[in-house]
Amino acid sequence: MAARILDGKTFAAELRARVADGASALQAAHGITPGLAVVLVGEDPASQVYVRSKGKMTREVGMNSFERRLAADTSETDLLALIGRLNSDPAVHGILVQLPLPGHIDEARVINAISPEKDVDGFTILNAGRLATGQEAMVPCTPLGCLMLLRDHHGSLSGLEAVVIGRSNIVGKPMAQLLLRDNCTVTIAHSRSRDLPAIVRRSDIVVAAVGRPEMVEGDWIKPGATVIDVGINRIEKPEGGTRLVGDVDFASASQVAGAITPVPGGVGPMTIACLLANTLTACCRANGLPEPEGLTA
């Protein structure tokens, strides 16, 4: 195998350890404990698993975890009232609303009700705008995790040709903004792009965030390129059962790439570690204290 494996699991564990150090330093010097509130509406099983694991990891880094579980038929008005209370609660530095929300609730209205300073997912219009205009922002966790892996591998990204495949608001678009901020030449490819293989072939950095199992083939990859695979797809195994694969055909791409993230164990673990990093960053900003280095973009 030619490519260096970018081990997100190990990187994320180190990042969480740095967050834990930062949280304990805040506690020792200022008596402040960062707090993350996670709001779950309804009983979606996958969302319940995510919320439980976010709560556990939040506590493990020495932060307060506030879980707010609401019934599936909660009204938008009641949910907005809860967001309002969390916005004004000084013990809460980060607020995350687990998506998707039930169909009767306007997701955008709820997300944009979160105070931008506490928007640790970076999904509010204000934070998206701040990121796009190069101002201090809360940066969405998954693209932030990808950027950290890329910076760690390359040092400087300046001048590199990058393609982001996927243009979602939570991954593709903010990823492209971050790469642009780091002086890459950025192409955003999507379902209507013509000749995607040709775009990928000229790219030093490929970020795949599509949601199509093993779509990016090894012979699309420029030799030596860095491949960040955001996709998480569950597929049937020929012998029965299922397994997780990314949006990139790892077996062939890893023969050509210079570096590649595996699935699982690449980008996935970085997302939650970046959520904790963002909560610490938000807490420092809220209290006018310096932020630990290397926790944000």
168 binds ligand NAD per the rule CB under 6 A? yes
Examine the residue annotation and report whether 54 is marked as an active-site residue of this protein. Answer: yes
Can you tell me the distance from the alpha carbon of 51 to that of 100, in angstroms, rounded to the nearest whole number?
12
Stretch that binds ligand NAD, among 14-22, 56-64, 187-195, 277-285 (CB under 6 A): 187-195
Give the C-alpha separation, 197 to 286, whole Å.
Answer: 45
Q: Is 98 a catalytic site residue?
A: yes
Among 52, 109, 190, 202, binds ligand NAD (CB under 6 A): 190
Q: Which of the ranges 42-50, 58-66, 114-122, 167-175 carries the binding residues for ligand NAD, by CB under 6 A? A: 167-175
| 148 binding ligand NAD? (CB under 6 A) | no
In 3-state terms, what secondary structure has residue 296?
A: coil
The answer to whether 166 contacts ligand NAD (rule: CB under 6 A) is yes
Residue 171 in contact with ligand NAD, rule: CB under 6 A: yes
| 182 phi, psi to nearest 5 deg | -90, 20
| Bridge partner residues of 206 (DSSP) | 163, 227
**Using CB under 6 A, which of the segments 31-39, 124-132, 220-228, 267-275 binds ligand NAD?**
267-275
| Cβ proximity to ligand NAD, 79 vs 141, nearer residue | 141
140 binds ligand NAD (CB under 6 A): no
Q: Does 143 bind ligand NAD (CB under 6 A)?
A: no
Q: DSSP letters along 32-71, please?
A: ---EEEEEEES--HHHHHHHHHHHHHHHHTT-EEEEEEE-
Q: Which of 110, 113, 112 is nearest to 125 (CA)?
A: 112
Q: Of the candidates 114, 148, 165, 176, which one interacts with ligand NAD according to CB under 6 A?
A: 165
Residue 289 sits in the site that holds ligand NAD (CB under 6 A): no
Does 90 sit behind a cis peptide bond, omega within 30 degrees of 0 on the bond before it? no
196 binds ligand NAD (CB under 6 A): yes
Residue 121 is among the residues annotated as catalytic for this protein: yes
Cα–Cα distance, 118 to 55 (Å, whole number): 17
Q: Does 267 bind ligand NAD (CB under 6 A)?
A: yes
* Contacting residue, 48, 185, 233, 255, with ligand NAD by CB under 6 A: 233
Please list the residues that pair with 14 across neighbouring strands: none
| Residue keyed to tokens 């009232």 | 81
Place of tokens 């597929």: 235
Q: Which class for 130: exposed (0-12), middle (13-18), buried (19 or more C-beta within 10 A)? A: middle
CB 21 within 8 A of CB 274: no
Residue 268 is a binding residue for ligand NAD (CB under 6 A): yes
Q: Are 178 and 137 in contact (CB under 8 A)?
A: no
Q: Per CB under 6 A, does 189 bind ligand NAD?
A: yes
So which residues are the catalytic ones?
A: 54, 98, 121
Interface ranges with ligand NAD (CB under 6 A): 142, 165-168, 170-172, 189-191, 193, 196, 209-212, 230-233, 267-268, 271
